[in-house]
Structure 1
Amino acid sequence: MARQLDEQIAARFAVGRRLRVLDVGMGQGTQALRLARAGHQVTGLEQNAKMLAVARAALAAEPEGIRGRVRLIEGHGHETGVHFLPGSFDVVLCHGVLMYVEEPDALLAGLARVLAPGGLLSLLVRNADALAMRPGLAGDWASALAAFDTTAYTSRLGLDVRADRLATLTATLAGIGAPLHAWYGVRVFTDLAADEAPVPPDVASLLAAEERAGCTDPYRQVAALLHLCGVRG
Structure 2
Amino acid sequence: MSDSASPLSPAGDRHFDGLADKFAASLYGGVRGELRLALLDHLLPEMLELRTQPLLDVGGGLGQLAGWFAARGHAVTLAEPSGEMLARAREALAEHEVNLLQAPLQALPELAPGPWSLIACHAVLEWLADPRLALATLASLLAPGGQLSLMVFNRDALRFSNVVKGNLEKALADRLEGRGLRKRLTPISPLTHGQVVAWSAENGLAIREVAGIRVFADYLRAPPANKADRERLLALEQCYCRVDPHWRLGRYLLYTLECPTHPPEEAVA
Aligned to 2:23: none
Q: Does 1:77 align with 2:67?
A: no
Measured in 2, the distance between the counterparts of 1:81 and 1:188 equals 34
Q: Does 1:114 align with 2:138?
A: no
Aligned to 1:131, what secondary structure does the other structure show? helix
Quick one: structure 1 residues 209 and 160, their matched pair in 2 at CA, closer, same or farther if it must change by over 3 Å?
Answer: closer
| Structure 2 unmatched ranges of 5 or more | 1-39, 261-269
Measured in 2, the distance between the counterparts of 1:31 and 1:52 equals 13
2:177 to 152, 162, 173: 152
| Structure 1 unmatched ranges of 5 or more | none
Q: For residue 20 of structure 1, report the CA deviation from its aligned partner.
A: 0.8
1:170 to 178, 184, 197: 197
Matches within 5 A, 1:57-72: 57-60=91-94, 62=95, 66-67=96-97, 70-72=98-100
Measured in 2, the distance between the counterparts of 1:23 and 1:52 equals 12
Q: For residue 159 of structure 1, report the CA deviation from its aligned partner.
A: 4.6
By percentage of residues, which structure has more strand? 1
Aligned to 1:225: 252
Deviation string 1:169-191 (CA, Å, 9 cap, x unpaired) is: 11211221222111111111112
Residue 165 of structure 1 aligns with an amino acid whose one-letter code is: T
Matches within 5 A, 1:64-213: 66-67=96-97, 70-87=98-115, 89-147=116-174, 152-153=177-178, 157-159=184-186, 161-192=188-219, 200-213=227-240
Quick one: structure 1 residues 126 and 19, their matched pair in 2 at CA, closer, same or farther if it must change by over 3 Å?
Answer: same
Q: Provide the aligned length of Structure 1 versus Structure 2.
A: 218
Q: TM-score, normalised by structure 2?
A: 0.73
Contact 2:178 2:188 in 1 (8 A): yes
Q: Does 1:19 align with 2:53?
A: yes
Residue 248 of structure 2 aligns with an amino acid whose one-letter code is: Q
Deviation string 1:40-61 (CA, Å, 9 cap, x unpaired) is: 111100001111000011122x
Aligned to 1:152, what secondary structure does the other structure show? coil
Measured in 1, the distance between the counterparts of 2:178 and 2:86 equals 26
Measured in 2, the distance between the counterparts of 1:166 and 1:51 equals 28
Residue 112 of structure 2 aligns with an amino acid whose one-letter code is: F
2:80 to 15, 26, 46: 46
Aligned to 2:101, what secondary structure does the other structure show? strand
Residue 234 of structure 2 aligns with an amino acid whose one-letter code is: L
Quick one: structure 1 residues 158 and 58, their matched pair in 2 at CA, closer, same or farther if it must change by over 3 Å?
Answer: closer
Residue 130 of structure 2 aligns with an amino acid whose one-letter code is: E
Q: TM-score, normalised by structure 1?
A: 0.84
Aligned to 1:162, what secondary structure does the other structure show? coil
Measured in 1, the distance between the counterparts of 2:131 and 2:215 equals 24
Q: For residue 18 of structure 1, report the CA deviation from its aligned partner.
A: 2.2
Q: Tell me the percent identity.
A: 32
Aligned to 2:14: none
Measured in 2, the distance between the counterparts of 1:114 and 1:27 equals 20
Contact 2:61 2:85 in 1 (8 A): yes
Measured in 2, the distance between the counterparts of 1:181 and 1:136 equals 31
Contact 2:178 2:185 in 1 (8 A): no
Quick one: structure 1 residues 90 and 28, their matched pair in 2 at CA, closer, same or farther if it must change by over 3 Å?
Answer: same
What is the alpha-carbon root mean square deviation over aligned residues?
2.4
Quick one: structure 1 residues 112 and 55, their matched pair in 2 at CA, closer, same or farther if it must change by over 3 Å?
Answer: same
Measured in 2, the distance between the counterparts of 1:217 and 1:36 equals 32
Q: Which moved more, 1:78-87 or 1:41-50?
A: 78-87
